[in-house]
Amino acid sequence: MTEAKPKNKNDLFAFLDGLGIAHSTHEHAPVFTVAESVSLRDAIPGGHTKNLFVKDKKDQFFLLTVEEHAVVDLKTVHGLIGAASKVSFGKAEKLMEYLGVIPGAVTAFGAINDMDNNVTFVLDADLMKEDIVNCHPLSNDATTSIASADLIRFMEATGHKPLVLKVTS
């Protein structure tokens, strides 16, 4: 069995266009952490994201997408998201296998690469109050802005039903 090559940002943009979802992308130097991306805030309005790729002891994987400065209690979040046990961070190999991204480029848009629904996507309720949500477009050298309601539409079009939950402290 040959593994399919993960979709890239051009594939993502074509998919969004096909759904009639408005989006804009700001190219920038690669950023790997929230701290490195702070300088982009003035140029890119809306809610900026932090993504936590986690798994439970039964190898159920979750992507928690929260506002960049939000705090997630990894000792208790499992009870909110339906995990079988406390969660720990997923390995980079699974991140690439399931979402088609490397650490530092983790994004809710990775749903486009999760063809087998291996990941449960959790969008923080506070983040989803923002009109615009900003995510990496499958690479960390750009930021794509999309309406929060359209982020949900995108996920549903990829076959995922994201959970919108208050997972932050």
May I ask the CATH architecture of the domain 9-165?
A: Alpha-Beta Complex (3.90)
Neighbours of 162 (CB within 10 A): 20
| Banded model confidence at residue 32, pLDDT cuts 50, 70, 90 | confident
Q: DSSP characters for 137-157?
A: SSSTTEEEEEEHHHHHHHHHH
* pLDDT in the model for residue 54: 98
- Name the residue ranges covered by the structural domains of the chain: 9-165
| Banded model confidence at residue 37, pLDDT cuts 50, 70, 90 | confident
Q: How far is it, in rounded angstroms, from Cα 66 to Cα 124?
A: 5
* pLDDT in the model for residue 29: 83
pLDDT of residue 4 exceeding 80, the answer is no
pTM for the whole structure = 0.93
* pLDDT in the model for residue 28: 87
Q: Is 103 exposed, middle or buried (0-12, 13-18, 19+ CB in 10 A)?
A: middle
Read off the pLDDT of each residue in 22-43 and give the average, rounded to a whole number: 80
* pLDDT in the model for residue 1: 47
pLDDT of residue 2 exceeding 50, the answer is no
pLDDT, tens digit, 9 for 90 and up, residues 54-105: 999 999 999 999 999 899 999 999 999 999 999 999 999 999 999 999 999 9
Q: How far is it, in rounded angstroms, from Cα 90 to Cα 111?
A: 16
pLDDT, tens digit, 9 for 90 and up, residues 94-150: 999 999 999 999 999 999 999 999 999 999 999 999 999 999 999 999 999 999 999
* pLDDT in the model for residue 3: 59
